[in-house]
Chain A
Amino acid sequence: MANRLTPYMFMAPAVIIMAIALMYPLGYMIWGSFRDWNPSQTIGEAEFVGLKNYIFLWSDPNFHESLGVTLRFAFFVVSIEMVIGVGLALLLDRDIRGISVLRTMFILPMMIAPVVVGLMWRYMYHPTVGTFNRFLDSVGLPRVDWLGDYALMSVIIADIWQWTPFIFILALAALQSLPRSALEAARIDGATPWQQIVHIKLPLMMPVLIVTALLRLIDAFKVLEVILVMTEGGPGLSTEILALRISRTATEFRELGVAAAMSNYLLILLLLLTVAMFAFNRWQEARAARLNAEIQEES
């Protein structure tokens, strides 16, 4: 008698909470995005304006700018982090004494609050008291206005500092769980280390790497606090990523309807990425399995 109800009893709390605090708000947001809505009104009082918010954003130069910044940020962050992270994993994939201590050091940046990360980097980038400019002074080079002229680059560097270890650790784990037989066979056949990397290690790691990259990509669209603390989106709109723009539209410009529509655009973008992640994952798994079989046949 209890048997059939048991799974539902286990599921109930999670389902109820997620329905109330995730699904309902998301629905509420979609509903609100069709309205001219400011924070002093309840949603019922707000006037229904149809697709006006979406159309307005479609031709809003500030939104375009912000979308462009977001895409550039995400692209550079993920690609640079992937190259450095995977490169380091390939380089450090050997028996080092104290690797666990090393990994502890590497995950430290990820665990610290984004707010604090922003704070540290804002200090280091500071035009007069900051670490970098002081260093440039001491070697006699001209100072650089990090958070002014090169704001986006500086923000990207900070994110690379924080999240490259994530990719490094996942890539290292993938590397260490590769089938030993394939590597062994390649070594016996006289493949150089470089050939081993290009023809064996990287293709076999690919499924994990793709998922890692997509996860990072999704996370890159969530970044907000680091940039908020470092530049507050400025100078101008040069670092105002979409998440920041949503929060400013809602709190500063008090246009909840527009902010909701913008959230929806972001959500659609992320949904596409998530679906791409699943599809790619399936496809790569099949491919990797085929490759694996081929390698085993050859050896």
Chain B
Amino acid sequence: MSSQNTRTNPAFYAVIALLVFMSVGPVILMFMNSFKLDVDIISGTSGLIFLPTIQNYEKALCDVLWYEPDHIDFCSLKFGGAFINSLIIALVSTVLTLVIGCMSAYALVRFRFMGRDTVSLTTLMVRMVPPAVLLVPVFGLWNNEFCLDRDGLIGGAIRDTFGGRGDVCLAGTHSGIILIYVAMNLPFVIWILQSFIVQVPRSLEEAARVDGAGPFQVFFKVVLPLIKPGLAAAAIFTFRIAWNEYLLASALSDRDTKTVPILIVNNMSEFNVEWGVIMATGMLLAIPPIIFTLLASRQIITGMTAGAVKG
């Protein structure tokens, strides 16, 4: 009876409307500002009435545009290249994390083997390691230790072909950033996928095995198709972290491997902030996650609850 009352209560809908406004408002504000000229943003005579312009986007993407806009005399913001770097890094690390994480989650759920508990516990523990803690060692290792020596065969070959300083190190390459992202995301992905694999009925796998399928065939042909929702959730979370991460990327990347968040932070700290362009870059960085959210919100929520609650 009480629920009947509140359902028709207009105040209830007012609360919901307010909540939606609060959570989406800032995003919409940024979206609108990215289409405004700086003059309009600063004068701020009216929030809603303005002449939309794509100048900000043109300025941000000037290095990949096929035409030259009149209002740009010098292309200072190499956003297009950073966007491509971000895409490569995020996509490759997502795929790798999923494949590797899936396999080990399966092993942890389905097999009893020596060291299983150790691995399981370690995975659980390293989930809490913040990226800031990894900053110092990763910076040191990637620059100094994970290198192909100049005297070695492969390192020498790479240096002769591509030039550059003596040693060939992981720092400053896409693979260096991808490696740390995969490692960082693995514990979480393994954790989430475990809770999905547990739900796959054993009888299905046994039936496949009776029909003569090997363990890898069972895994790829029977188990994987059944945990697609879990995979989708894990993929979105991994992509989100790899796409959004700033700190480690900024320590590991060089001029050519900068990702989008680094570019935004660098532009932000400069003295004179061009709000329109900054908002446009921010919007470009936000668009992929927003698309995922709109397409797969149910998987995201399932993954979130599975990841947090299952202990």
Contacts and interface: CB of A to CB of B under 8 A. Distances in A.
A106 B19 contact: yes
A15 B309 contact: no
Contacts of B136: 29, 32, 246, 250, 256, 259-260, 263
Given A22-B184, A134-B44, A94 B7 contact: yes
A129 interface: yes
B132 A111 contact: no
A113 B100 contact: no
A7 interface: yes
B282 A116 contact: yes
6 contacts: A10-B104, A11-B119, A15-B119, A109-B27, A124-B26, A225-B246
A246 B139 CA distance: 13
B186 to A, nearest CB: 6
Given A21-B179, A22-B129, A229 B265 contact: yes
A22 B264 CA distance: 27
B269 A232 contact: yes
A120 B104 contact: no
B265 A228 contact: yes
Interface string B273-301: 00100110010011001101110011011
Contacts of A11: 103-104, 107-108, 113, 119
Contact of B135 (A3, A94, A102, A246): A246
B192 interface: no
Contact of A108 (B99, B123, B293): B293
Q: Is the interface of B mostly helix, strand, loop or mixed?
A: helix
Contact of B309 (A8, A174, A221): A174
Contacts of B139: 39, 250, 256
B24 A108 contact: yes
Contact of A21 (B29, B44, B99, B182): B182
Contacts of B279: 119, 123
A3 B141 CA distance: 37
Residue picked from A39, A225, A270, most chain B C-beta under 10 Å: A225
A201 interface: no
A2 B214 contact: yes
A184 to B, nearest CB: 13
B264 A266 contact: no
Interface string A71-97: 000000000000000001001101110
A11 B115 CA distance: 10
A163 to B, nearest CB: 11
Contact of A221 (B130, B247, B264, B297): B130
A63 interface: no
A28 interface: yes
Interface string B96-138: 0001110110111011010010010011111111111111111
Max count, chain B CB within 10 A of own CB: residue among A13, A112, A121: A112
B73 to A, nearest CB: 25
A22 B268 contact: no
B84 interface: no
A178 interface: no
Interface string B246-269: 110001000000000100110011
Contacts of B215: 2-3, 6, 10
Interface string B1-22: 0110011000000011001101
B168 interface: no
Contact of B26 (A14, A94, A102, A121): A121
Contacts of A102: 16, 20
